[in-house]
Each structure stands twice: as C-alpha cells, then as structure tokens.
Chain A
Amino acid sequence: MKRFAMAASLVMLASTYANAQTSEQLVKGATDTSNVLNYGMGYNLQRFSSLNQINKDTVKNLVPVWNYSFNDDRSEESQPLVYQGVIYVTSHNATMAVDAKTGKQIWKSKVEYPAETPRIVCCGIINRGAALYDGKVIRTTLDANVIALDAKDGKELWRQKAADIKEGYSMTVAPLVADGVVITGISGAEFGTRGFIDGWDPATGKHLWRTHSIPSPDEPGGDTWKGDTWKLGGGSTWITGSYDPELNTVYWGIGNPGPFNSAVRPGDNLYTCSVLAMDPKTGKIKWHYQFSPNNPFDYDSVAEMVLADMNVEGKPTKVLMDANRNGFFYVLDRTNGKLLAANPYVKVNWATGIDMKTGRPIETDVSKDARDGKKVTVYPSILGGKNWEPMSFNPQTGIAYANTLSFGGKYKSEPVTFKQGEWYLGMDLTDPWEFGDGARGHLKAIDPMTGKAKWEAPADIPRFSGVLSTAGGVVFTGALTGEFEAFDADTGKKLWQFQTGSGIEGQPVTWQQDGVQYVAVTSGYGGVYSLFSGDERLAKVPPGGSLWVFAVKQ
C-alpha cells in the first residue's frame, strides 16, 4: 500500500513537471508557434510569428471563433499567454484560464485590492498580463503585490507585497521570468515615488534583489540629482523588459522623472528616461543609456526594448530598438549600449537630433523655454511619439510596425509641493494638447535605421493597441473605436476588420493548434488616451472587457 502510494505520487510529480513549462521553453518562445509563452511573444519582444495560414489572401475569411466576457469595464491591456491549449489572461480584478478552442472558462481567480488604490493610479485601471513558469501563473496586482497562482486551478501559491499604495506605488506590469528569476517593475512616478526593479524566487516568492532606478547619492549616478530630489525622483518601470539569454542580460526601460517640472531637479536625473542592461540573477546594472536627460515632457522610456540581430553597415550586430516617447527611433548595440542610429519617426521640435558621439539630444529653445517656466508648444506631446503600446518587428523584412501619435502639446511648468500619496506633477494640465486637424495617430512601417516610414495608415482617433506581424505578410492591430484590423505588411492597405464591441487597447497574439492558426486580442478600453485626451468622440464607444479569438473560416 505504502509502495503504491509512493508510486502514485511519483507519477503525479512526473506529470506535473511534464506540464509545467521551463526556462528552456521560455528561451525558445519566439519560435514556438504552438504556444505563446512570453510577454512580447518571445524574450526579444518582437511580436512576430512565422505562421502563415492567415496571410494576405486568406485574411479576408477571418471570422470569430468565440468571445469570452471579462465581466469588467476597465481598460483591458493584458497580453494573453497560451500553453498547451489553455489561454491565461488577466484583468485588474481577475486572472483567468480559458480553453483555447472552445472559449470555455477553466478557472477564474479574483484579485482584490483596497478601494483607495485608484487614488494613486495615474493612467487607467490596468493589468498587462502574466508570466508562466514551472506550473505557475505569476502576475502583479494594482495594489503592488506580486502573486503566483497554480496554473491548474488558479489557487494562490504565494504573495509578496512589493510596495505600499500609501506611498504612491502601484503595479500593472507583466512579470518577466529570466534565468529562473521573476522580475517585476513598478508604477508611481507621478506621485513622488522612487522607482525600482525587483527579483523574486519563482518557487517561494522570496525577495532576491532590488535595483533602484534612481540611485542614492552614494551610488554611481547619484551625483545627477541635487539634494534630496532623488527620493522623489520617479523612474517607474511599468513595462516588461526584454532578455538576451546568450548575453544573459535583461533590458528594462525606465520612466519619467518626478516631478515633470524639471527646475525642481537640476541634473541629468539618472536613470530616468533610460534603458538599463542588467544581470537577471543579481539585478546588477551592466550598462545604461539615457535617451532624455533632465526631461520636462514626460518622455518616459519604459516602452518595449526590442532585440534583433541586424546588419549594421554590413556587420551582423546584436541590436536593441526603441521607438522612444521622445520622438526618436533608437538602435543601440546591446552588447555595450553604444548608439548606432537615432532618427525622428514623428514630428519633433524639442531637439534637432541626437549627437552620435555623446548620445545626448541636441536640444532647441523649446526645451530651454520649458525649463525656464515659459509656455511652449512641444512635439511630441507628453503622451509621446509612441506611448506604451508595443510595436512589432519583422526580422524577415527588417521593418518595425508601430502605432504612433501625431499631435503636439501645450506645456507649462508650475510650482509643486510634495504630499505623500498625492499627484506630484508640477505641470499645468488644464489644456495640454495641440491636436491640429489631421489624423491624431498613424500605424507606421518604420525602417529602424532611418526612422522613415515605408507606409502609414492614419487613424482620426489614435490607436493604442499593440501590433503583431506575421510571415503571412499581415500586420494586426486594433482601434480605440473597436475595430480589430489587419493590414498588408508591404503596402499598409487594410485587408480586413471586425468590430469587437469596445475600444481595443490589447496586445494581439497568434499560435497554431491542431492545424489551425488562431489570433487573439482583448477588447475593452479605458487607458491613458480615453482618460486624458478629452476626445468626446469616444462617448459613442461603449466600455466592456472581453477576449476575442479568430481563425480562417474552413
């Protein structure tokens, strides 16, 4: 009897391990077409799939397979993950596992947080997705906890509080698991916080390391802050980093300094508006590159750092790409942080260019006047040339596809006093936009080395959805007015669209199961543009979160 029990438990153990995906699988995520294991559809965050069942010819026959309601009407920006026929998706108040073929719910695990939490959430009630590792679904919560659930039934296995909402911290980031470490960022730079990145043990939740995005005076870079300004210096880390397993390096973008009013914090303000190259086991910084020193305009640099191997001047080069919020498209050598290219991909007037030797922006009077407290019209606006919504990079064509923003802003700093847990901006937000008459956004096919667009597809109300490109020559994205859209990757011609019922801020993904290629995206809006733009055309777009899955009609 005893022997039987032991054998049974061994079998159970073996099956658990067989079902739990591993570090090795995560490393191969970008080419695993039967699953979607990583945020960004691969450690490189390329959001590219080699699948081609859905292509330029067949995409017109794309039809919905099912729709799954989140029973929620907040902003649905979560990237679905897919493993062995199960979709794992999050909202601010739940984690869900859904059968990929039928759309039937397998489990739903509620996420609760104190009612006070939204007071310190700047830009929408959001969660951007989970990480899968060793049979666990790991996610963050709005009240700054990191939790691990059992992938089988959604039961909570461990919970760690990363920070306190009373101090202005919150979390929306999808965790990254790299080299066996769960890595998470933090939100809150608009509330006088000091940002950081954490490492956790996936098995137990044990806290392994914390690297602050704002150095203290005795750390390298600490001399780029005056007095105590570093304590409230911002530098959020709310978008998932990329990871190069060969170099064993994580690349994580750092957000805006706090407050916006740059006169309060003279100096370069490292590592705000920068990218950090880090060791995943220790959190140690290997190198950094700062895009926008002492920035007044909220040119947050958290958005995705896409990794690719490209020919640069005839030499195969390991690069990192970033369509920065400051309006320049950067290409860096990711082995050392050296600048290879930086060119505008939208209208820019705060700088004339980037000095290729120093890597620093060549600023215009717009920046100087803004720092001096004068009212300026700045391009791009505080929402940037591209906000958080992730682009896609097609390694077969070398083109990046990004939803860009085509408007400027009115900027004037104002005095600001810090009060814990409250808005700490120092900018007049009464009338912050310079929209103009044309389209406010464009989906652009961008050459990374020049920033020039091969084509652009305009949108009157700008798109805030992620982008997915495939070997089928199709680019998928979504509109705030609800249409899930497919474009011809070579010409930008719209090939297909489907009205999903609410605005799309989600991150489309694709995979193949039993010979069928599926595309999934969340619908449901409520993010930064809908809250801050005052765009009253959105009054006609109902909220309401759900997950859609599409396939070609057989």
Chain B
Amino acid sequence: MLKDISLKTVAILATVAVLTVALAATVRAADDATGDPVQAQIDHGKATYASKCSHCHGPNLMNSGTITPDLRAFPDDRTRFVTTVKNGKNNRMPPWGDILNDDEISNLWAFISSRRKP
C-alpha cells in the first residue's frame, strides 16, 4: 500500500515536473521574442561571466569540473552562490564583493541557472 502511494506520488510529481519544464520552456521562448527582463538578466550575466569568471570556470561554462567547480552542476541554492561570489571560498574562489554589486551577482545567477545541467 505504502509502495503504491509512493509510486502514485512519484508519477504525479513527475507529471508536474514535466509540465513545469514545458511551461518554462514556453515562457523562455516567449521571453526571447519579446525581450523579456529575465532574458536581459541572463544576457547581462553572460557578459559578466565572460569578463570575470571564464578564465577559471571555462568559456561559456564548459569545464571538466576537476580544477574549478563546473557551474552547470552548481546546486539550485541562490544564497550559497551569492555568498561565495561575494566573500570567496576556501582561499580558492576569490572574493568579488568589492567589484560586483548585488544586481550583477543576481544577473550572474540568472545566467548560471539558465545553463544548469538537468
């Protein structure tokens, strides 16, 4: 019984997930065409990434993930991302809080979220 419910729940969740992805894709397509602010954020974040991040995390986020984190696999955790970018981490990731403002970091997050590996 327990098993049945679980399977049913999983099925429902999966359906919801598929629908959400489909919906998101539709919205994204619409954003592209209309110059939606979300896309503008992603574009801005992409430019910031190219000038500040790509020399360690790889052009266009392409990275094997061994030397520096593969940001396409960064968890969906905005707080952790913002904190790490601002303060740096483990004496490896340098701090950017004195160079990047909150909007720029938000835009970076939008870009990186848009490229997350499924």
Contact = CB atoms under 8 A, between A and B. Distances in A.
Nearest to A538: B64
A525 B90 CA distance: 19
B58 A531 contact: yes
A281 B8 CA distance: 81
B52 A531 contact: no
Interface string A67-80: 00000011100000
Contacts of B3: none
A20 interface: no
Contacts of B75: none
B54 A429 contact: yes
Q: Secondary structure at chain A's binding surface: helix, strand, loop or mixed?
A: loop
A397 to B, nearest CB: 37
Interface in A390-443: 422-423, 429-432
Contact of B52 (A73, A75, A422): A422
Interface residues of B, number: 25
B55 A190 contact: yes
A118 B56 contact: yes
Contact of B66 (A121, A431, A543): A543
Contacts of A429: 50, 54, 59-60
A115 B84 CA distance: 13
Contact of B63 (A430, A531, A537): A531
A116 B52 contact: no
B62 interface: yes
Contacts of B91: 115
B81 interface: no
Contacts of A423: 50-52, 54-55
A530 B96 contact: no
B66 A530 contact: yes
A526 B52 contact: no
Contacts of B60: 429-431, 534
Interface string A515-554: 0000000000110001111111111011100000000000
Interface of B: 50-52, 54-56, 58-60, 62-68, 70, 88, 91-96, 99
9 contacts: A115-B94, A118-B56, A531-B56, A531-B68, A537-B64, A539-B64, A539-B66, A541-B66, A543-B67
Q: What 6 pairs across the A-B complex have the smallest Cβ distances?
A: A534-B62, A538-B64, A526-B67, A539-B64, A429-B59, A423-B51
Given A526-B67, A531-B68, 9 more contacts: A115-B95, A118-B92, A431-B59, A531-B58, A531-B67, A532-B59, A538-B64, A538-B66, A541-B66
